[in-house]
Amino acid sequence: MNIDLKGRTALVTGATGQLGRVMARTLAACGADIIIHYHKNETKAAELQQEIQALGSKATIVQADITDEKSVLNMQRIAYENFNSVDVIVANAVSQYKWKTILEQAPEDYLDQFESCVMQSVLLFKAFVPRMIDNQYGRVIGINTECAMQNFPTQSAYVAGKRGMDGLYRILAKEVGEHQITVNQIAPGWTISEQDRLAHSEVQPEHSKNVPLRRRGTDQEVSNAVAFLASDLASYITGVYLPVAGGNVMPTI
């Protein structure tokens, strides 16, 4: 048994980011063609396109502001000019800001997180889910966070955006399930990425001592979960919030 995504096309937003690029490579290694979304880093997008093509998959680059409807619709147009369908959506893009206490956090930071977490997903759904319905097939995967369960001080804007996103995905799962479209979320913990490896900061004992697996997860482990949920191996899994966090958070029944 293996993960086979041949014949599928996956859109990864924020594909030039630390996690996004590994997700894109992993989906391509499973046989999927990739739509590489980027906001500002065109150079990294071009490098990633070459890597994916070297794996034998097709890859198209598209620039978009995922919080702007016109920009997302332009991304839709480019996607359908290059591929017959978008079978897998991975909503990975997120904006960065400095975390502060609620009393110190600027109101615009809450709006920013709402737009990047909630509105990104709404716009992607409206742009790409209708054709999934026509095809009676689709995989929608949102990248959430363990923080949505932790609710630690200074996380408020991020958690507010991700918790709003969580409700949206659960509702979409119920609305489109009859069309054999699955809608799930992956919630990474504090993940080791390329920047950690370059800085030799992978090992964080104070953090890991409280994680049941006693270590941080890797970008590849998160991407493996994305590939699984994107595949037909996960055809009867929908509405799930799946932590890839070494047991650091555990959803309850």
Give the pLDDT confidence of 79-92 residue by residue, as tens digits: 999 999 999 999 99
pLDDT tens profile 100-150: 999 999 999 999 999 999 999 999 999 999 999 999 999 999 999 999 999
Percent of the chain beyond pLDDT 70? 100
Is residue 225 within 8 A of residue 234, CB to CB? The reply is no
Q: Which residues pair with 140 in a beta bridge?
A: 89, 183
Q: What's the pLDDT score for residue 27?
A: 98
Question: Helix, strand or coil for residue 34?
Answer: strand
- Which pLDDT does position 20 carry in this prediction? 97
Rounded (10°) angle between helices 219-230 and 18-29: 50
13 token code pair: 């937003």
| pLDDT tens string 35-72 | 999 999 999 999 999 999 999 999 999 999 999 999 99
For residue 29, give Cα distances in angstroms to 23, 57, 136, 194: 10, 8, 25, 18
Per residue in 177-226, pLDDT (tens digit) is: 999 999 999 999 999 999 999 999 999 999 999 999 999 999 999 999 99
* AA letter at 231: S
What predicted TM-score, i.e. pTM, was given to this entire model? 0.96
Query: At 36, phi and psi to the nearest 5?
Result: -90, 105
Helices (H), 58-193: 69-82, 107-113, 120-135, 147-150, 156-176
Q: Is the pLDDT of residue 76 over 90?
A: yes
Name which of 79, 75, 32, 72 is nearest 56 in CA terms.
32
Tokens 């500002």 belong to 40
The yes-or-no verdict on residue 248 having pLDDT over 90 is yes
Phi, psi of 84 (to 5 degrees): -70, -30
Structure token pair of residue 163: 């918790």
pLDDT at 84: 95
pLDDT at 1: 81
Nearest-angstrom CA–CA distance, 32 and 50: 15
- Known catalytic residues? 158
- Cα 66 versus chain centre, distance: 13
In this prediction, residue 253 carries a pLDDT of: 86
